A and B are shown apart, each in its own frame.
Chain A
Amino acid sequence: MRDVAVVGFTQSPSMRSEPDRNEVEILIPVIDALRKQTGLTSADMDFICSGSSDYLAGSSFAFVSGLDAVGAWPPVCESHVEMDGAWALYEAWVKIQMGYADTALVYGFGKPSMGDLPITMALQLDPYSVMPLWPDTLSIAGLQARHCLEKGILTFEQMAAAAARDRGHAKGNPNAQVKGDFTVEGILAEPFLANPLRKSDCAPISDGASAIVLAAGDRARELSKRPAWIRGIEHICEPMDLGVRDLGRSRSTEMAAAKAGVGKGKIDVAELSAPFTHQEILVERALGLGPDTKVNPSGGALAGNPLMAVGLSRIGECATRIWSGEADRAVAHATSGPCLQQNLVCVLEGE
């Protein structure tokens, strides 16, 4: 395997609603900032890969206009996944492994504020048997949380503590959307939004974009004083049907973590993109994180949740902490689908 590192990362602030900018206009300054950060132009990128969703934009081929942000001229080697940008990064990592590329630009972007997101996401479910019931995101996550609570897998207090921790960490993150001094008592006093979930148990709806540059071997060392080397990356997808999987654990995260080698050493920092507090707890457990890991120093998805970019941003947030020396080994997580259906785990290390 070739050594591949994250050498550049930029993101837009997560916002409940970008009032004046469309998806591409959100993306353009992010790509511009990445150019300044790395000194690279689109022409320097051997491969480009992006992640976005037509259903967030409300039109077919919405990703095509992303090329305008990249400035794809002369023509570029480029691909796109209808997934979070973290999976675009995986595809780019594969292209570097096969020797097709030494450098790659990866970006993800989404503007969910244009529609009613919880209802839009119902269109992700089995269109024949489940979607006609229009179960929204909160209701489905609520079913999972209820299962976990009643089986004694976790408690309301643990859920509230996760929210309070993440939003507290987010105070230091200028790009975070929901931050402040939350307390467990205060959160438990909130009314239910979708019983047993309270507002603080849920990630916000966020517009936003992020971008990363990957580079291989010596090219990475030229571009970064302390590259964040990808030492393991794996993703696993479970069946969607909620009735055929154990909703009290995240088996796909466990499998991906094992293959990515999370347990091979101490993890200093973990960045998780679980959009609900109970899911965050399940992911923490699936990754086997202990008390010596700082979880979500940026606030994670619970502090800012730009769909299609939030997972990619977790990898970027880990990378910046490797670059700075704050962490030597970090793990980033991305998820997709209802109730943690599909999960990606990426282990990053400094030298």
Chain B
Amino acid sequence: MAELTAVVGIGQTKYQAKRLDVSMPGMIREAAERALADANCTWKDIDAVIIGKAPDLFEGVMMPELFLNDAIGGAYKPMLRVHTAGSVGGSTGIVAASMVQSGVHDRVLCVAYEKQSESNATWALSIALPFSLATVAGAGGYFAPLVRGYIRRSGAPEDTGIRVAVKDRQNALRNPLAHLHLEDISFDLVANSPMLWDPIRYLETCPSSDGACAMVMEKASLASKRSGKVAWIHATEMRSEPTMFSGRDQVMPRATLDNAAALYKKAGITNPRREIDCAEIYVPFSWFEPMWMEGMLISERNEGWKMTYEGATAIDGDFPVNMSGGVLSSNPIGASGLIRFAEAARQVRGLAEKHQVDGAKKALGHAYGGGSQYFSTWIVSSEKP
């Protein structure tokens, strides 16, 4: 019943620690203008605008979409603001797609961003409310025990995380938009970087970035007429579960497993490792690559680390992951999920330049958030389903 929909334009800013040269409206407009140029569209061609970002406290503006809308051509148009914790970028892409898939709109623009330099995310994540359980740990402190749980269960070698970090940081050197370009990256450099939240070292974590990512999506009857390459959306899926309850498996949450199974079913995928050519996975801490290889049913349980170890997830491996350098190399939080979705689309359009996977036809975009409890994913392809 859903209208077939395609990504026809992608725009990103250069990710960096501080974009002091632009305001928030200026920054998101930069990404939106690039997406429109890529789609060969003007502001007038856009029916609706979808804005996504992580918590408002990150920049200190309440519901900032209201003041930003005008900067991305949203005046006198429908506008929605999505917020689903760390998965928000992915969810923003999914909501935007659904606006076209439902037949409500012909062509929409979605933009997700974070301007972390305007506030302090770890502060915003660590506010202790009265009568509420507070971890006051920031994200790294929250996720480190889950990583330790994974290592204990899987028996993964302790340097698995280091290998992921080296690989993603090497990939980032191919992507001019990546925030971190560590020319001297090596196993020893990561291994000798300070331990922040055992077992997560400094160079195994994501940076704090400013940046925005935008996409234009349109219905098949329009996208089919284009001469340029488009990315067809084969399936989208999302799942959520509560943060805490007795018996909840936080290391391998049921929500990720259910989400993966439902996504592949919709996309007609029976063997994801073989049928998907590459993936952009939300890996803010290195160990989440092997964890989500299992959580996305790409690897057998407790064997995700082997994919890293054997080089399968390298850009020339049989299942390349985070060719762009991933969240480890650029993390404008609210945008990070949409960047994963956009980079998956770039791959199947064959427009990923130096980090292109040869012949990529089907790609997975993935985001997660909250306490490993929100998941949003999509499958895009160079071919119609």
Contact = CB atoms under 8 A, between A and B. Distances in A.
Interface of A: 1, 22, 48, 53-55, 57-61, 63-65, 67-68, 71-83, 87, 90-91, 94-95, 97-100, 120-121, 123-128, 131, 234-241, 244, 251-252, 255, 336-338, 341-342
B60 interface: yes
Contacts of A241: 70
B62 A55 contact: yes
B63 A82 contact: yes
Nearest to A1: B103
Given A59-B57, A98-B1, 15 more contacts: A22-B132, A53-B56, A55-B63, A58-B129, A65-B132, A74-B241, A77-B238, A79-B84, A97-B103, A99-B1, A100-B98, A123-B61, A128-B23, A240-B66, A337-B66
Given A55-B56, A60-B55, A79 B95 contact: yes
Contacts of B245: 73
A258 to B, nearest CB: 12
Contact of B242 (A54, A73, A81, A121): A73
Contact of B127 (A58, A67, A336, A342): A58
Contacts of A99: 1-2
Contacts of B91: 79
Contacts of A91: 80, 95, 98
Contact of B76 (A71, A252, A336): A252
B240 A75 contact: yes
30 contacts: A53-B62, A60-B55, A61-B125, A61-B370, A64-B370, A64-B373, A65-B243, A67-B241, A67-B373, A74-B258, A76-B239, A78-B239, A79-B238, A80-B82, A81-B83, A82-B81, A83-B63, A83-B81, A91-B80, A100-B2, A120-B62, A124-B66, A237-B66, A240-B66, A251-B76, A252-B76, A336-B63, A336-B66, A337-B63, A342-B66
Contact of B78 (A59, A63, A81, A235): A235
Contacts of A80: 82-84
B77 A82 contact: no
Given A126-B67, A127-B67, A90 B80 contact: yes
Interface of B: 1-3, 23-24, 49, 54-67, 69-70, 74-85, 91, 94-95, 98-99, 101-104, 124-125, 127, 129, 131-132, 237-243, 245, 253-255, 258-259, 370-371, 373
Nearest to B70: A239
A251 B75 CA distance: 11
A218 B253 CA distance: 35
What are the 9 tightest A-B residue pairs by CB atom distance, in nearest-first order? A99-B1, A60-B55, A97-B102, A75-B255, A98-B102, A239-B70, A55-B62, A237-B79, A78-B240
Contacts of B241: 67, 72-76
B98 A95 contact: yes
B256 to A, nearest CB: 9
B337 to A, nearest CB: 13
A63 B241 CA distance: 12
Q: Which of B24, B57, B62 has the most CB of A within 10 A?
A: B62
Nearest to A69: B242
A237 B76 contact: yes
Contacts of B69: 237, 239-240
A300 B346 CA distance: 48
A68 B238 CA distance: 18
A97 B2 CA distance: 8
A238 B254 CA distance: 41
A127 B115 CA distance: 13
B67 A124 contact: yes
A54 B57 contact: yes
Given A58-B129, A74-B258, A237 B77 contact: yes
A75 B239 contact: yes
Contacts of A97: 102-104
A342 B255 contact: no
Given A124-B67, A255-B76, A336-B63, A74 B254 contact: yes
Contact of A60 (B65, B124, B132): B124
Contacts of B57: 54-55, 59-60
A296 to B, nearest CB: 25
A27 B104 CA distance: 31
A75 B370 CA distance: 14
Contacts of A71: 242
Contact of A239 (B54, B75, B101): B75
A72 B242 contact: yes
A336 B1 CA distance: 32
Nearest to B240: A78
B63 A59 contact: no
Contacts of B131: 22
Contacts of A60: 54-58, 124-125, 127
Contacts of B70: 239-241, 244
A123 B62 contact: yes
B129 A236 contact: no
A218 to B, nearest CB: 15
A239 B77 CA distance: 10
B207 to A, nearest CB: 19
Contacts of B243: 64-65, 67-68
A82 B65 contact: yes
Contact of B60 (A75, A78, A123, A244): A123
A54 B55 contact: yes
A79 B58 CA distance: 20
A312 to B, nearest CB: 15
Contacts of A239: 69-70, 75
A138 B168 CA distance: 51
A87 B83 CA distance: 13
B80 to A, nearest CB: 6
Contacts of B24: 127
A254 to B, nearest CB: 10
Contacts of A73: 241-242, 245
A82 B56 CA distance: 9
A231 to B, nearest CB: 15
Given A75-B255, A75-B258, A97-B104, A237 B127 contact: no
A110 B138 CA distance: 25
Nearest to B78: A235
Contacts of B82: 79-82
A127 B61 contact: yes
A64 B85 contact: yes
